[in-house]
Amino acid sequence: MDSHHRAPSRIDRAQILKRATAIGVLGAGASGAPRIMAALCDPRIDAREVQCLLHKEPALSARVLRVANSPYYGQSRSITTLDRALVILGLEAVRGIAAAACLDRTMSRGMDQSPIDMPALLQHSLATAAAAESLARIRSPALASDAFIAGLLHNLGILVQMNIDSPGIMAMIELRRAGDNRDMRALERENASVGHEECIAVIFEAWEMPESLIAAARHHHDPMAAVELHRTLASLINLGADLGLANGSTFTLEPLPVARNTPAVAWLGLDEGQVDAVATALPERVADLKHALLGA
């Protein structure tokens, strides 16, 4: 088949925003999970606003409490209210838990029609978030919350990419099935009208997220291309994603583990033993988070 030899027309920012709005991720039509997720990702949101947001969503509140009481957070005392969760776990952790629940709901909307294994994509997102958060706690604890949220959402651009260019995505999937193991961006350059990194970066910009998260989204495959100020967060997401793939949390477009990004490891000031320790603990952490969040 010659579909991968086509010269795809390029998609600009306005077109990305239009498609993201059409599928309910952005704009006045955004409601439910995407709207809540955007609010939760705003670093200016305070504890009172988070409480108000979650109190309006009983099912989401229940999920937050279930995760808060799970082995993922290692709590010995039962957390029965959102107030208590905010006190015990902190605002940033509660934001991350709620964003994870919203991501599941957002991805679930297109599962039946998607050519991509959406549960596997969600698991990769959870694994990236857990690994990036764990890595941040070693060298950059102040970035742990941002690492979790950026890792969690770094695949969201794929949903917009699928809506914009289904033929391009199908061409990439066919190449993967034929044994093409090149970097995902190489496949995108040849077959897709827009990259998934650009899609999520444009969404983050529309959500008015901090420049550090936008840079992490735009450069999570090549963190050393990010400006120095934001390279640490981009490196955390890159390495977290690599560890997720090595953990077996692969998906249709990234079906195999990849080599660790040595420059990213060096930039973070980590040694291989520290990264190995995170990798060893990751399967259990992902299982705990997935069970608490999805009941699976």
**pLDDT (tens digit, 9 = 90+) per residue, 239-291?**
999 999 999 999 999 999 999 999 999 999 999 999 999 999 999 999 998 88
What lies within 8 Å, CB to CB, of 79 at 6+ separation is: 65, 68, 69, 85, 88, 89
The structure tokens listed for 295 are: 């009941």
Burial class of 132 by CB neighbour count within 10 A (0 to 12, 13 to 18, 19+) = buried
pLDDT of residue 6: 54
203-223 confidence digits (pLDDT tens): 889 888 889 999 999 999 999
Neighbours of 283 (CB within 10 A): 14
pLDDT of residue 109: 61
| pLDDT above 60: residue 51 | yes
pLDDT of residue 32: 66
CA separation for the pair 229, 145 (Å, rounded): 17
Q: What is the mean pLDDT of residues 223-233?
A: 97
Question: Looking at the chain, how many residues does it have?
Answer: 296
Specify the higher pLDDT residue, 23 or 204. 204
- Whether the CB-CB separation of 99 and 41 falls below 8 Å is answered with yes
Q: What is the mean pLDDT of residues 83-104?
A: 85
Q: What is the mean pLDDT of residues 56-62?
A: 86
| pLDDT above 90: residue 38 | no
CA separation for the pair 155, 56 (Å, rounded): 27
What lies within 8 Å, CB to CB, of 31 at 6+ separation is: 24
Burial class of 288 by CB neighbour count within 10 A (0 to 12, 13 to 18, 19+) = middle
Hey, is 278 helix, strand or coil?
helix
For the chain, which residues make up each domain, given as ranges?
3-27+115-294
CATH architecture for the domain at 3-27+115-294: Orthogonal Bundle (1.10)
CA angle (103, 212, 145) in 5-degree steps: 50
- Half-sphere exposure of residue 36: CA atoms within 13 angstroms, side-chain side: 25
| pLDDT above 70: residue 139 | yes
